[in-house]
Amino acid sequence: MFYDDLIPVVKTFPNEPEGWSNGVYHERKPVYTPVKLSDPSEWFKVNGAELKLTTRSWTETESTGFGVYNYVEGLCFKKATGLKDGSWTFTVSNSGSAPIKVSAYANDILKINATEVPAGENATLNFTLCSVEDETILSFFVPDAAKTKEEAGLQELTVIDVSYEELPQKAPKAKPTIYLASDSTVQSYEKFYYPQTGWGQVLYRFFNAGKTTEEIQSPDLFYPQNHIYETPLFNIENRSIGARSARSFINEGKWDRLLALAAPGDYCFIQWGHNDATAVRPNRYVAPSDFPYWLKKYIRSCKARGIQIVLVTPIARRNCDAHDGSFVASFGNYAEPMIQTGKEENVPVIDLCSLSVDYLNSIGSEESKLIYLFAAPGAYPEGAYADGVSDNTHLQEYGATQYARLVAQAILDSDRPEFAKLKPAIDTSFEIEKPKPFTPATPPDSTTPTGFAMQELHVENGTASFLLIWNDVEGAVKYNVYRKGSVDFQFFPLRSVTAEEKRTAAVLPFSLPAADVYQVYVAAEFEGKREGNRSRIIEFRA
């Protein structure tokens, strides 16, 4: 039978999620039970050459709206594939009188998403998985729109065949590629967000003697932030995307997609830590103690494919000591495990966390505003930051270029043999033009929040998640954010943020139901529940 070389197990989620504890959300934990297909159960039965499955699926959203979890119960198959690229093909049958939709997970990555199978027909579906685990776990199911386990119905699916083919290792490219996998501090941005720039967007300048080069959107349209920069000796493909962590970049299939493109002789620089530290966003949070576990998935999967991985510790935030104005490492509890993991796994590490802190201390607090995303109202009237911005986390073009230079110079200064092929391509000698000093405009009214801007809009499972940023207003006790949908006649409260929460967070997360056009603004509230003037209004489609 087709499943003779597959190990069957039933996956269930019998217990409720533990929920929030000490500021961290704990989702449901799966239970895997070994079974024999010769012993029919509530989850499966064999009918000749067919395997009839019963599955249950639902999507739970935790109380803040930012943790979204897709659960599937039913029969799974395990196979020892090793860290290889493999092609999976399976055939399902719909003997019913209505169409059904079929999905498939492989190692918790959604590989087939609700493909319709007409009534009375069979469908053969195929996907490639670049495994980062020694074994692959497959599950096939009919997705349900249920929001709780209690609402989820039992769905039937007939599987006729499953086959696996190990793919041959790819040949090295004529011109190697340097891949970048990281978050919003490395990402490439469209012109609308200028001057916001990730250091991965300008790294090519140090491989092209300071010259500009054509920026091409990757033909791989998995997500639009992928950009390619062609330089004489290397192509640089920046696959970084905001709001991702070492965990979510793998779980969303983005690392799998990168591995499908990379070949022996390519390089991959990964910088994680910023979003891993964000416990208020459960789907991407990684505890510092768990950080090496995720890093090793990247390291092992690259080593198995002849790709040279380089770990990069997270850039510092613009955090100044209140007493002496010095800068301190913002993500030391992630940088240190990354450095230690690099030693244990014998892979190069660029300690950009320390390099950026040292650089900031050399230029001082005021000039550091030229590094990070600071802009006066009206400086960029046609873009996202028309109202100005004061952002201590993200970079503007000058800062991104300076940090890209730190990365390039670290390669030149290193005695690691892995960098030998890169060094002849690198030039850090050219001048970087410094912008004019940042001078904030005087706000029209002291109660008006300035610098109101949106970042990292992300739509998934019918929910639009986004980040908002604005400048502190002196004397405010809290801030009220309001929203208005396309069919609303007035603005309604979205949520309130205390002044303390605002001071301690670089950006603040919000969410709304997707599939609408919204307007949002923020207003400061003072003692006596007196509300000041509202900020500018941001309109966006979700």
What's the chain's length in residues? 542
- CATH assignment of the domain containing 63: 2.60.120
Residues 84 and 228 in one domain: no
Domain count across the chain: 3
368-383: average pLDDT: 91
pLDDT in tens, 450-507: 889 888 787 777 788 888 999 889 899 999 999 999 888 889 999 999 998 888 777 8
Identify the pLDDT of residue 503: 80
Domain closes at, from 425, 440, 471: 425
- The reply to whether 445 falls in a domain is no
Q: Is the pLDDT of residue 443 over 60?
A: no
What does pLDDT average to over the chain? 92
- CATH assignment of the domain containing 504: 2.60.40.10
Residues 322 and 471 in one domain: no
Domain span at residue 74 reads 7-166
- The reply to whether 535 falls in a domain is yes
Distance in angstroms (rounded) separating the CA atoms of residues 125 and 91: 6
- The reply to whether 439 falls in a domain is no
Distance in angstroms (rounded) separating the CA atoms of residues 259 and 112: 18
- The reply to whether 172 falls in a domain is no
pLDDT confidence tier of residue 291, bands split at 50, 70 and 90: very high
Considering only 28-32, 138-142, 215-219, 351-355, which range has the smallest mean pLDDT? 215-219
Identify the pLDDT of residue 441: 65
Residues 189 and 281 in one domain: yes
Specify the pairing of strand 478-484 against strand 492-498. antiparallel
Q: Is the pLDDT of residue 185 over 60?
A: yes
- The reply to whether 443 falls in a domain is no
Is 0.75 surpassed by the pTM of this model?
Answer: yes
Residue type, 279: A
Distance in angstroms (rounded) separating the CA atoms of residues 350 and 338: 10
Residues 42 and 64 in one domain: yes
Q: Is the pLDDT of residue 322 over 70?
A: no
Residues 308 and 208 in one domain: yes
Q: Is the pLDDT of residue 369 over 90?
A: yes
Residues 402 and 285 in one domain: yes
Residues 184 and 154 in one domain: no
Identify the pLDDT of residue 384: 85
Residues 102 and 154 in one domain: yes
Residues 293 and 355 in one domain: yes
Domain closes at, from 113, 136, 166: 166
Distance in angstroms (rounded) separating the CA atoms of residues 240 and 198: 9
Higher pLDDT, 112 or 224: 112
- The reply to whether 510 falls in a domain is yes
Q: Is the pLDDT of residue 416 over 90?
A: yes
**For 76, how many CA atoms within 13 A lie in the half-sphere containing its CB?**
25
Domain closes at, from 166, 199, 220: 166
Alpha-carbon dihedral angle through residues 299, 302, 305, 308, given to the nearest 10 degrees: -110
Residues 155 and 202 in one domain: no
Residue 160: burial class (beta carbons within 10 Å; 0-12, 13-18, 19+): middle
Identify the pLDDT of residue 1: 58
- The reply to whether 262 falls in a domain is yes
Residue type, 281: R
Distance in angstroms (rounded) separating the CA atoms of residues 90 and 162: 4
pLDDT in tens, 73-105: 999 999 999 999 999 999 999 988 999 999 999
State percent of the chain over pLDDT 70: 98
Residue type, 469: I
pLDDT confidence tier of residue 314, bands split at 50, 70 and 90: very high
- The reply to whether 441 falls in a domain is no
State percent of the chain over pLDDT 90: 72
Query: CA 362: distance to chain centroid?
Result: 32
Residues 329 and 386 in one domain: yes
Residues 240 and 284 in one domain: yes
Q: Is the pLDDT of residue 286 over 90?
A: yes
